[in-house]
Amino acid sequence: MSTPEKHTFQAEIQQLLEIVIHSLYTDKEIFVRELVSNAADAMEKLRFIQSSGEKIQDESLPLKISLTTDDQAHTVTFSDTGLGMTKEELVQNLGTIARSGSKAFLQQMVQQKEKSLELIGQFGVGFYSTFMAAEKVVVSTRSWKTGEQGWIWTSTGTGSFEIEPAEGLERGTKIVAHLKADDHDFSNAHRIETILKRYSSFVSFPLELNGKAVNTVQAIWTRSKSEVKEEEYQEFYQFISHESDTPHYRLHFSADAPLNINSLLFVPKSNIEKLGFTRLESGVHLYCKKVLIQSEAKGLFPEWLRFLKGVVDSEDLPLNISRETMQDSALMQKLNKVLTGRILKMLDEESKSNPEQYAHFYQEFGGCLKEGTANDFLHREPLSKLLRFESSLTEKGKTIGLTDYAARMPESQKEIYYLSAPNRESAENSPYYEVFKAKNIEVLFLFDPRDEFVMENLRQFDSKSIKSCEKSDLSLDSQASGLTDEQALSLTDWMKTFLSTEISNIQSSRRLINSPAVVVDEDPYTSTSMRRMMKAMQRDNPTAMPTEKYRLEINPSHPLIQKLSQQKELQPEIAEKVARQLLDTAKITAGMSEDPRILIQRMHELMEVALSK
């Protein structure tokens, strides 16, 4: 038998090994992923050669990856029946690096060390990660080429490797990792199984651990839609989402341009964020050719799509990139753009083809869409079409979108109107709604406090401005007879004498029918609800409040106002109480509820007067 031939590693490899061997990197387990993915690659290549009809060594040997652990000898072994390596290939592949991207990565690695280790596999140097956990690696291999003999490659990762011929090998490659004292846990079958489940569940060849098949799930996202069965989608969803039910929506799509993408995404049935315990984290994992690159990948989708589950596989992942910059990389942005566009398109189609199912989705995830409409300028327009509201023309509990609203606006109507209210009943009875009801103009009813915030951010839809009913200057075409203009003026002047410290203006209204009075915000840029919010935030610092500018509008045709006008001279004391009460109740209707104690006391006094008549 000849003595082993000694070879030195290429300088860059030596540098790499130096870092790998002395690294304190905690995710050493990735070496398992790398060796399994190399084995899968080797078999993929063999399959390709087979299909070209060439003559192949051990032709009938089935394609399979087998791992064995030996916790006595402290080894873990990776065998495959792939294409194997000739002597020259061994020297070339496991001693040098050819790819330029890999060299650049190595240079970066010298500076970044630990940070770069997790990416080691993406740079065509994954094999060497084995030396993170192994003090010696033995590779036995035999090429697919008939007439080639087998070879054994051995190295401790320090400067050189040895090669010697080997008898009796079958086609393929076997790699034995002799584990370092600190890393004996990798010879524990359970540990390896956990790692396989995490990283290699989608390997498309049979995978065995100590003779037992490891359950793999097919990477169905790379198959065409027509080939995937409903049960397979179901099984896959449960696997990837850790959910036990079915998804609400599914999007399976592939693209080649501008990017290679194979993706399978799901919208779950329910939103756990609604329970208020947690904030969802992205549940979409990034793969490159079926091998996990990053689980729960950040930056693949905008924040408001954090409820999605699934996988995105792209063969276009670049070489010289670290995980820290991955999130901001141009590629991630491109992926994000394409993927988000597809999701928006799907939601739009679903909302039209099956509104009931969409309503269910909206109930769960509408909050996320609102968040996106308010914050994500890039996707605001398509998002705004996905919003849903009840309106004065819908049945209770039924909703419409802005598109429908705009489509049925009469020619004469120029603006889109909404009204914030706690529920449908109070919206329909709101003084702000009266003029709209009289004129038969549709009003969107906003019951979720976030809706108003969204509308204020949106401001426009389909180049029509969106306006709160409180802010509209609509007036009734004709008003029931009531006070004359002079009487009304005399009444408002009188009211100003004692109310001017509380309200900036008082005037006669042309928008009221059933309500005696209403408070209107005079500032065109702030709504009453926004003021309410600011007030709540600045409770401890009242001086920081913006100057309040409200006017009180009174309804000259309302019997109460007419009586007030008559009685202001006859019973000035009671009339003043009534006027003050009118202002306070109008403020309550506007949602600006003040300290109720004064109001209640005054109410009691007025009740007493009423009873003594």
11 vs 607, which CB is nearer to ligand ADP? 11
Does position 583 interact with ligand ADP (CB under 6 A)? The reply is no
Rule CB under 6 A: say whether 495 interacts with ligand ADP: no
Residues 217, 207 contacting (CB under 8 angstroms): no
Q: Which is nearer to Mg ion, 321 or 419 (CB)?
A: 321
Q: Smaller CB distance to ligand ADP: residue 171 or 511?
A: 171
Tokens of 11: 């300088």
Task: Name, in order, each residue with C-beta under 8 angstroms of 536's C-beta and a sequence gap of 6 or more.
Answer: none
Q: State the nearest-atom distance from the C-beta of 42 to ligand ADP, in Å.
A: 3
C-beta neighbour count of 555 within 10 angstroms = 27
Q: Name the CA dihedral angle for 397, 400, 406, 409, rounded to a multiple of 10 degrees.
A: -30
Please choose, out of 52-60, 75-83, 242-250, 380-388, the segment that lies near ligand ADP by the rule CB under 6 A. Answer: 75-83
DSSP letter, residue 220: G
Considering only CA atoms, which of 108, 559, 581, 47 is closest in space to residue 321? 108
Q: Which is nearer to ligand ADP, 46 or 416 (CB)?
A: 46
Residue in 335, 350, 137, 133 with CA at minimum distance from that of residue 250:
350
**Footprint on this chain of Mg ion (rule: CB under 5 A):** 38, 126
Q: How far is the CB of 48 from ligand ADP (least distance, A)?
A: 13
Whichever of 83 and 427 has its CB closer to ligand ADP, that residue is: 83
- Scanning 109-117, 120-128, 450-458, 470-478 for contacts with ligand ADP by CB under 6 A, the matching segment is 120-128
- Of 84 and 516, the one with the shorter C-beta distance to ligand ADP is 84
Nearest CA to 444 out of 494, 480, 408, 483 is that of 408
Between CA 579 and CA 568 the distance in angstroms is 9
**Residue of the chain from 81, 93, 155, 314 that contacts ligand ADP (CB under 6 A):** 93
Task: Name which position in 19, 76, 94, 119 contacts ligand ADP (CB under 6 A).
Answer: 94
| Nearer of residues 84 and 556 to ligand ADP, judged by Cβ | 84
Structural tokens at position 28? 């050493």
Which CB sits closer to ligand ADP, 96 or 475? 96
State the nearest-atom distance from the C-beta of 111 to ligand ADP, in Å: 21
Residue number, 102 or 420, with CB nearest to Mg ion: 102
How far separated are the first and last CA of the chain, in Å rounded?
Answer: 126
Residue closer to ligand ADP by CB (options 44, 404) is 44
Binding part of the chain for ligand ADP, among 119-127, 201-209, 367-375, 382-390 by CB under 6 A, reads 119-127
Number of H-type helices and E-type strands within the chain: 20, 22
User: Under the criterion CB under 6 A, does residue 126 sit at the interface with ligand ADP?
Assistant: yes
Segment (H or E) for 296: none
Nearest residue to Mg ion on Cβ basis = 126
Q: Is 125 in the site for ligand ADP (CB under 6 A)?
A: yes
β-partners of residue 209 are 67, 212
Residue 528 binding ligand ADP, by CB under 6 A: no
- Residue 473: exposed, middle, or buried by beta-carbon count in 10 A (0-12, 13-18, 19+)? exposed
Q: CA 203 to CA 39: how far, in whole Å?
A: 10
In this complex, which beta carbon is closest to Mg ion, that of residue 97 or of residue 443?
Answer: 97
**Other beta carbons within 10 Å of 457:** 15
Minimum separation from the CB atom of position 121 to ligand ADP (A) = 7
The DSSP bridge partners found for residue 252 are 264
Which of ligand ADP, Mg ion, none does residue 42 bind to, with CB < 5 to 8 Å depending on kind?
ligand ADP
For residue 90, the partner it binds in ligand ADP, Mg ion, none, with Cβ less than 5 to 8 A by kind, is none
**Could you tell me the strand order of the sheet in which 416-420 lies?**
390-391, 444-446, 416-420, 464-468, 460-461
- Binding partner of residue 519 among ligand ADP, Mg ion, none, CB cut-off 5 to 8 Å per kind: none
200 binds ligand ADP (CB under 6 A): no
Using rule CB under 6 A, residue 80 touches ligand ADP: yes
Q: How many CB atoms lie within 10 A of CB 599?
A: 18
Which tokens in the block code for residue 521?
């915000």
Position 42 contacts ligand ADP (CB under 6 A): yes
Q: How far is the CB of 154 from Mg ion (least distance, A)?
A: 20
When binding is defined by CB under 6 A, the residue of 69, 173, 468, 528 that contacts ligand ADP is: 173
CB 391 within 8 A of CB 437: no
The answer to the question of residue 34 lying near ligand ADP (CB under 6 A) is: yes
For residue 324, which amino acid is it? E
Residue 45 beta carbon to ligand ADP: minimum distance, rounded to whole angstroms: 8
Which entry of ligand ADP, Mg ion, none binds 29, CB below 5 to 8 A by partner kind? none
Q: Of ligand ADP, Mg ion, none, which one sits near residue 173, judging by CB under 5 to 8 A according to partner kind?
A: ligand ADP
Contacts 24+ apart (CB under 8 A), 411-416: 413/441, 414/464, 414/465, 415/464, 415/465, 415/466, 415/467, 415/472, 416/444, 416/461, 416/464, 416/465, 416/466, 416/467
CB 212 within 8 A of CB 71: no
Residue from 17, 28, 68, 82 in contact with ligand ADP (CB under 6 A): 82
Strand partners, 152: 140, 164
Contact residues: ligand ADP, CB under 6 A: 34, 38-39, 41-42, 80, 82-85, 93-94, 124-127, 173
